[in-house]
Structure 1
Amino acid sequence: MAAPHNPPPSDPPALVAAKADLRERLRALRAAPPSPAAIAALCRRMAAHVRAVLPPGADVAAVWPLPGEVDLRGLCAGLHEGGYGVLLPETPPRGLPLCFRRWRPDAEMRPGRFGTLYPDGAMARPDLVFVPLLGFDRRGFRLGYGGGYYDRTLAELPGVPAVGYGLSAQEVPAVPVGVYDVPLPVILTERDVILV
Structure 2
Amino acid sequence: MDADKAALRKTTEARRQQAHAALSERARDLVRDSFLESFEFSPSSVVAAYWPFRSEIDPRPLMLALHARGHRIVLPVAVRTAAPLDFRLWGPGAPLVKAGLGGLVPDIGAPELEPDTLLVPMLAFDDAGYRLGYGGGFYDRTLEKLRAAGPVRAIGLAYEAQRVAAIPRETTDQQLDAVVTEAGVTHFRKA
Under a length normalisation based on structure 1, what TM-score does the superposition of the two structures give? 0.86
Measured against aligned partners, the alpha-carbon deviations of 1:40-99 in whole angstroms (never above 9, x if no partner) come to 10122223344x2x1233110000011211111111111111111111111212111111
What residue in structure 1 maps to residue 28 of structure 2?
A: 39
Cα displacement (A) at 1:181: 2.2
Match of 2:90 in 1: 103
The alignment partner of 1:115 has SS state of coil
Match for 2:37 among 40, 43, 48? Answer: 48
In the other structure, the counterpart of 1:125 is 114
**Alignment equivalent of 2:135, drawn from 146, 151, 163:** 146
Q: Give identity over the alignment, percent.
A: 38
RMSD, aligned CA: 1.4
Identify which of 148, 155, 175 aligns with 2:167. 175
Give unmatched runs, 5+ long, in structure 2.
Answer: none
| Cross-structure match for 1:24 | 10
Between the aligned partners of 1:116 and 1:83, the Cα distance in structure 2 is 25
Aligned length: 180
1:34: Cα distance to partner? 4.8
The aligned counterpart of 1:194 is 186
Unaligned runs of 5+ in 1: 1-14
Q: Distance in 2 between matches of 1:68 and 1:62?
A: 16
Q: Aligned AA for 2:67? A: H
> In the alignment, is residue 60 of structure 1 matched against residue 47 of structure 2?
yes
* Aligned partner of 1:115 among 83, 89, 102: 102
Note if contact 1:34-1:70 (Cα within 8 Å) is conserved in structure 2: no
Following TM superposition, by how much is the alpha carbon of 1:128 offset from its aligned partner in structure 2, in angstroms? 0.7
Q: Which runs of 4+ in 1 moved over 3 A?
A: none
* Alignment equivalent of 1:74, drawn from 56, 61, 71: 61
Name the SS of the counterpart of 1:69 in structure 2: coil
